[in-house]
Amino acid sequence: MNLTVIDHPLARHSMTVLRDASTGPRDFRNAAKRLTYALVMEATKRIPLEKFEIETPLEKTAGYAVGDVVAVAVLRAGLGMLDAVLELVPDVKVGFAGVQRDEETALPQEYYAKMPPMEKASVLVLEPMLATGGSLSWACSKVKESGATDVTALCVVTSPDGVTQMYKDHPDVHIVAASHDRELNDKFYIVPGLGDMGDRLFGTL
């Protein structure tokens, strides 16, 4: 299975704030940030560490520094997860991937991409809502074209269809999520879900 769903009381609390239709943009943004802390801790559990010697005031001991990490925010909802990553991951480099659905073909269409070098990095793709899987799959292809070989996706909510699509397209990409929800509705929204993540983050409802 390519999916880990975190199970933590604080994450459940934040998920509840996000799901609640009465939550306004300020509390929604705070909850998204707090939830992302938990996702980042899980997703970075196995990133490479450099070991070296340091001196405490008392004696020499081992010190550690995390290796290269790149975060790629899928626009625009991925921006709601970015602050937490910037706070937690030292010297993280950041890419942006803009994708929209082509109205005629329904295929993902790029409108913006800017990637840092990522050949040797642990790459975290920030895509909060894994619905059909189209945009996350496209973003993972994009980071692989840029040289990424170690890719983890951070999602707030996943759907069964999205996880299946990702397993088909990118079986090597691990997904860390806060909830795996029941299904997609006929408009491709995740249910029970939390609505449109971008609209709720930025107040564009």
- Looking at the Cβ atoms of 22 and 61, the one nearer to ligand URA is 22
List residues with catalytic annotation.
101, 105, 196, 199
Cβ of residue 196: shortest distance to ligand URA, in angstroms? Answer: 4
Cβ of residue 128: shortest distance to ligand URA, in angstroms? Answer: 7
Cβ of residue 93: shortest distance to ligand URA, in angstroms? Answer: 26
- Looking at the Cβ atoms of 125 and 190, the one nearer to ligand URA is 190
- Looking at the Cβ atoms of 29 and 69, the one nearer to ligand URA is 29
The site for ligand URA (CB under 6 A) is made up of 77, 129, 131, 189-190, 193, 196-198
Helix axes 9-19, 25-43, angle to 10 degrees: 140
Cβ proximity of 163 and 113 under 8 Å: no
